[in-house]
Amino acid sequence: MQTQMPDGTILSVEGLRVGFGSPNAPVTALRDVSFTLARGRTLALVGESGSGKSVTSLALMGLLPPSGRILSGRLDFLGRDGRVTDLARLDAAGFRRLRGPGLSMIFQEPMSSLNPLFTIGDQIGEMLLLHDDAPAAQRRRRVIEMLEMVEIPGAAARFDAYPHELSGGMRQRVMIAMGMICHPDLLIADEPTTALDVTIQAQILDLMRRLQKDLGMSILFITHDMGVVAEMADDVAVMYAGAVVEQASVLDLFDHTRHPYTRGLLASIPNDGLGPDERLVPIPGSVPRLGALPSGCAFAPRCSHAQPECQRPVSLEEKAEGHLSACIFDFAGAA
């Protein structure tokens, strides 16, 4: 049955639940995750380690480990052919056809994603082999063009280089080239700049913005860094303990933060105006274990605003036009 997507939407995630472990008693890693991504825009999934960001991306790509599985929900993706595919029900063969021209992903650590035994040209070109029967000379030319597009100097010579012969920033550019070689409709970037110094990070982010504009892609950008969110995103979904707790446009989220957890993330960002006597404000405690979530609001044990009412279940609700929050209170001031 063909599903209708809202106008301009390329990805609609609704009620996604993912579990790990025994089929009879799975540990729930994602709890009713819902968000939408508009075509040509960047949505940032943000939160601490353990919030469920990477699990969400692996579910979208059909790359959950054998111990993990989608328990319920829909992952509707609108392809370039105008057909809507529910990724939650797609088989392995369907994912193989979709990965590359439809969905593509950049992983966090290039050295764990690139094969040290093959040249970067062969690894980037492998994606073309799966989706295009062009002759070897044409594939080589397209790979070199892609390396030039991601600003690899001496692209033709680098085609025959091995991963260990490149710097960290160059390897990350190779990963971007690999993810974009088939001009995907949707690029998922999982912490793509975490291991890079600030100068290289700024270059990579600028490169991704330029390529997005040139190729007309949508980007799902996964990060824990609110500074990167401010620089990259059009829209933001904040995740905590396997659920989305706030979602809004990036400007509205920063100017009118409505969830205490998001306020905590923003308060912990260093800035150039930090005086000698000023201190960053950390969020006390840590993300709860998935098998031992508190009743009601999962953030309540760490929240300075927590009240007895927070022990009741809370859902994501619209507090203002286009701004959703999962809090019984309505904080609407800047963090």
Q: What percent of the chain has pLDDT over 70?
A: 93
User: How much helix, strand and coil, in percent to the nearest 5, is found in the chain?
Assistant: 35, 25, 40
**283 vs 250 pLDDT, higher one:** 250
Please name each of the domains of the chain with its CATH number: 9-102+182-270+286-325 (3.40.50.300)
Cα separation, 179 vs 257, in Å, equals: 33
Average confidence (pLDDT) over 159-164 = 93
Radius of gyration from C-alpha coordinates of the chain: 21
In this prediction, residues 96-114 reach a mean pLDDT of 85
User: So what's the pLDDT on residue 334?
Assistant: 43
Model confidence, pTM: 0.90
Query: Can you tell me the mean pLDDT for 147-167?
Result: 91
CA–CA dist 156, 146 (Å, integer): 10
Predicted confidence (pLDDT) per residue in 38-68, tens digit: 999 999 999 998 899 999 999 999 999 999 9
pLDDT at 335: 44
Q: Which secondary structure element, helix H or strand E, spans residue 315, and what is its range?
A: none
What per-residue confidence (pLDDT) applies to 113? Answer: 81
Q: What is the pLDDT of residue 25?
A: 81
Across the chain, what does the average pLDDT equal?
88
Q: Which amino acid type is present at position 228?
A: V
Q: What is the DSSP letter of 259?
A: S
Q: Is the pLDDT at 292 greater than 50, yes or no? A: yes
Contacts of 187 (CB under 8 A, 6+ apart): 104, 105, 106, 179, 180, 212, 217, 218, 219, 220
Provide the pLDDT confidence category of residue 274 given band limits of 50, 70 and 90. Answer: low
In this predicted model, what pLDDT tens digit does every residue of 171-214 receive, in sequence order?
988 988 998 888 899 999 998 887 678 888 888 888 889 889 98
Residue with tokens 């904040």: 238
Strand partners, 4: none
Q: Which of 96-100, 127-131, 194-198, 210-214 has the lowest mean pLDDT?
A: 194-198
Q: What is the pLDDT of residue 273?
A: 54
Structure tokens at 88: 């939650």
| Residue 324: both structure tokens together | 């959703």
CB-CB contact of 113 with 167 (8 Å): no
